[in-house]
Amino acid sequence: MSALDSSIVNISLPAISSYFNITLTTVEWVVLSYLIVISSLLLTFGRLGDIYSHKKIYIIGFAIFTIGSLLCALSSSIILLVLFRALQAIGAGMLMAMGPAIITINSPANKRGRYLGIIGISVAIALSIGPVLGGFLTAIFGWQSIFIINIPIGIIAFIWAIRVLPTIKQGEKQSFDFAGAIILFFALVGIIFPLSFIDKLGIKNPLMIGSFAAGIILLILFVLIELRIKHPMFDLYLFKSRVFLMGNISLLLNFIAQFTVILIIPFYLIEFRNFPASMAGLILIANPVIALIITPLAGYLTDHYDTRYLSSVGMFLIAAGLFLLGLLNEKSSIVYIILYLAIIGLGVGMFQTPNNCAIMGSVSQSRSGTASSMLATMRNLGMVFGASLSGSLFSYRQIYLTKILALKGISGIELNNLVFTGAMRFTFIIGAILACTAIITSLIRGSNKSCREVL
């Protein structure tokens, strides 16, 4: 539900913009409010789950998400819609933060890789069907229907979770660090906000610089405070584990690399190659569908083989796929486009389950909520940074190539083709370099023969 709602809304933004008679810049806040709130609160929810029960936070998350969905559908103004999307994001953040922790605690050690792989499958399904389902519902029933559909699912899931999830006895009673949670929230907002707008406002914009600087200062303050209190909001000593540290860095790099594809390829297919949106959508499905197919196998392999090698193979495939996508031009066959996207999907499926399982296995049960929320935080930060980085790289490279090629006397269609393909190639090469870096961080994170043995 949480992943689906991050992809289903994008396709409905034009309809929402028309309904409220607002600009694209304004309607983007329907997406940004959701993303910023989730990313800024995930670690807080993880800690709350470790203290007060993962099951409780998970169930509360379903309730808030469902109520938020109803209020979004009933919104009479864009301001209310943005506010209720933020409320919906609070519930979604609770679900994201608790999912891997609940699976880790309640699953047999020798099958944990396969069970954590189910999360990868659900995310792949959500990313695949989100735009298609959103377009279908918006066209037939209006944009409100993309929120209404959550209500019956949320009610059923709420009741089901109460009935089937076991209540795990909590350990030593600990206090919650409210001051740390507030500082961390504003620190992450300060960092995520400029990352979301850097491709529109530019890196030199005073607002971007001020927000980012404030976020970094607050983050440093948060670290200094957390190191001095008995029950910190986030246990920074988790980063002493090389598996935990390098696994999260690898995950961040993985999503940054992935989102260069998600942002650039639709423009290549629709604007550069003039494919119909329907055909472009079918081509793009190759990535998540292959990831969906390979994830169960990756889960099985995770339970039997060294996770660092499996993750490294996954990142190698992503790097290779990005490099190959950089070779595309105005005449490239659809078969090659699908093949290259499938290679990246294969890499995504091979990387995430082994990497996530290793991270979850590197912490004690009492910190599983914190580790689970850290996974989701790295994923969201990677999505935001990947989208903003690739957009900025692509735009700046286009400007540079336009000037250079114009000086050489190249113009017209030839200039447009060379500028677009050159900017795309440059962006994907940077993405491939980041993926190669993740190969290194995966290999050096520590030796463990299988996820089961780590746990």
pLDDT one-digit tens code per residue, 98-127: 888 888 888 777 777 777 777 777 776 776
Least confident stretch, 8-22, 50-64, 136-150:
8-22
Q: Given pLDDT bands bounded at 50, 70 and 90, which one contains residue 249?
A: very high
Q: Do 82 and 31 contact (CB within 8 A), yes or no?
A: no
Mean pLDDT computed over 27-42: 83
Is 90 exceeded by the pLDDT of residue 452? no
pLDDT one-digit tens code per residue, 205-216: 888 889 889 989
Is 50 exceeded by the pLDDT of residue 454? no
Mean pLDDT (the chain) is 84
Q: Given pLDDT bands bounded at 50, 70 and 90, which one contains residue 130?
A: confident
pLDDT one-digit tens code per residue, 252-293: 999 899 888 877 887 888 788 888 866 877 787 788 888 888
